[in-house]
Structure 1
Amino acid sequence: MKISVKLAFFAVVSTLAYLTLAIWGLGGFAAFFSHGSLVVVALATLIMAVASLFTEVNLSSGEREDRDNRWVIPAFGVIGLLSGFLPAYTDRIDFWTFGGEGVRWLGALLFIVGGALRLWPVFVLGKRFSGLVAIQPGHRLVTEGIYRNLRNPSYLGMMVIGMGWALAFRSGVGLILVALTLIPLIARIHSEEALLRAQFGSEYEAYCARSWRLIPKIY
């Protein structure tokens, strides 16, 4: 079985599992789909999963890999599982929730925007986008388009998706989980930057000097 087929299978299964956790947390299909905003979030989740099947994302260690950074993968997995269930569950029991339907719709909007921002760079990078911190064969530095001013737009998209998901359930706990995601995310960013600096030297240093890591004008 080719890795692309494995990743496609994983994308479908993980997406369905994520939605199942949320539906379970909120109390079932009727409770979940009684909110138009959550219907939109569910559809957006499925669309993103299908779109990911047309990318060239991989798990190749390429020519060089920082294996010490692999710990972030299970960390993301644990936080992801908690995020799938807890925001919906706290919404159901009305624990540390805020706002009303307006907050839910804001969350749905952020979820869609974050999804687009997450996937766009994946299509731009093609085979160079790996789930591992690695330099791929023929790797070149991309500093134009969506990467002109922001070095990690896909990671920013991940954070926006997380905030959108939390707000769709009006969940303070969900926002805390988004904040916790920053720990492995920043560790991965620093690992990637060290590898790219070693690979591209002054070219990467010059790019860093004129761009932002994650949030324009802030970080």
Structure 2
Amino acid sequence: MFRTNLLVATLAGTLAYLGLSILGWGGFGAFFDEPPLVALTLVLFVLAGLAPFSGGNLSSGVREDRRNRWVLPVFGVIALLSAFLPAYTDRLDIWTFGGDGVRWLGVFLFAVGGALRIWPVFVLGNRFSGLVAIQPGHRLVTDGIYGLIRHPSYLGLMIASIGWALAFRSGAGLVLVALTLPPLLARIHAEEALLRTEFGEAYEAYCARTSRLIPGIY
């Protein structure tokens, strides 16, 4: 029942997000007359269809850093703006660049980033929460993609966000991506602080041999 409810909620959210983009573009006919945007929509629904089966949740678990909850409404506002504004500015040709090549690059990055966003959620399962929290039976995962970077899902989010902006050739969309960085970094620091208190020296050693987001750089 929980998974069914989550699937319905995810589908509703995806339809609302896409609806804002279609509204910004000026209607269904105009939006789906653009092949890159049709492809973008297909990728969006594939990712949305996979998400409810990943095991991720919004549980506060056995211990949560509630001080970091402020980032959730911030992410929400940026998401709403990202759904509408890039499409709207593209339609009006305001602060746009490139042509169909940029659009297709955006679709590609959105697909790659979306896959990277959801892959770690499947790896962690119910240990992956939308809140900064330690879950029951929580253990430190340090292999696979986590052997390279500590926050692969957030890297995927940034790549997908850049891809979404490029699919609409939108400079405004790229500004919104930049505005995502401060709350995202605050979230990362909060997560790492909580994991340090939970796993101690093991987590310190893990941090010493991995990067936060970009292998070998940060």
> Aligning the two structures, in what range does the TM-score lie when normalised by the shorter sequence?
over 0.9
Matched, 1:217 2:197: no
Gaps of 5+ in 2: none
RMSD of aligned Cα (Å):
1.0
Specify the SS of the correspondent of 2:212: coil
Counterpart of 2:65?
A: 66
1:1-219 equivalences in 2 (<5 Å): 2=2, 4-219=3-218
The C-alpha deviation readout for 1:71-107, integer Å capped at 9, x for no partner, is: 1111110000000000000000000000000000000
Once residues 150 and 6 of structure 2 are traced to their aligned partners in structure 1, the CA distance between those partners, rounded to angstroms, is: 25
Once residues 24 and 197 of structure 2 are traced to their aligned partners in structure 1, the CA distance between those partners, rounded to angstroms, is: 45
Tell me how far 1:34 sits from its aligned partner: 1.4
Once residues 11 and 112 of structure 1 are traced to their aligned partners in structure 2, the CA distance between those partners, rounded to angstroms, is: 18
Q: Which is further off, 91-100 or 49-58?
A: 49-58
Once residues 172 and 50 of structure 1 are traced to their aligned partners in structure 2, the CA distance between those partners, rounded to angstroms, is: 29
Specify the SS of the correspondent of 2:54: coil
Tell me how far 1:6 sits from its aligned partner: 4.1
Amino acid at match of 1:31: A
Residues 150 and 214 in structure 1, CA contact (< 8 A), matched pair in contact too:
yes
The C-alpha deviation readout for 1:167-211, integer Å capped at 9, x for no partner, is: 000000000000101111100000000000000000000010011
Specify the SS of the correspondent of 2:53: coil
Amino acid at match of 1:188: R
Once residues 10 and 74 of structure 1 are traced to their aligned partners in structure 2, the CA distance between those partners, rounded to angstroms, is: 18
Amino acid at match of 2:215: P
Once residues 20 and 56 of structure 1 are traced to their aligned partners in structure 2, the CA distance between those partners, rounded to angstroms, is: 27
Report the TM-score when normalising by structure 2: 0.98
Once residues 24 and 169 of structure 1 are traced to their aligned partners in structure 2, the CA distance between those partners, rounded to angstroms, is: 13
Gaps of 5+ in 1: none
Specify the SS of the correspondent of 1:53: helix
Deviation >4 Å, runs of 4+? none
Tell me how far 1:42 sits from its aligned partner: 0.2
Tell me how far 1:10 sits from its aligned partner: 2.3
Aligned length: 218
Residues 115 and 158 in structure 1, CA contact (< 8 A), matched pair in contact too:
yes
The C-alpha deviation readout for 1:119-160, integer Å capped at 9, x for no partner, is: 100000000000100000110000000111100000000001
Residues 38 and 168 in structure 1, CA contact (< 8 A), matched pair in contact too:
yes
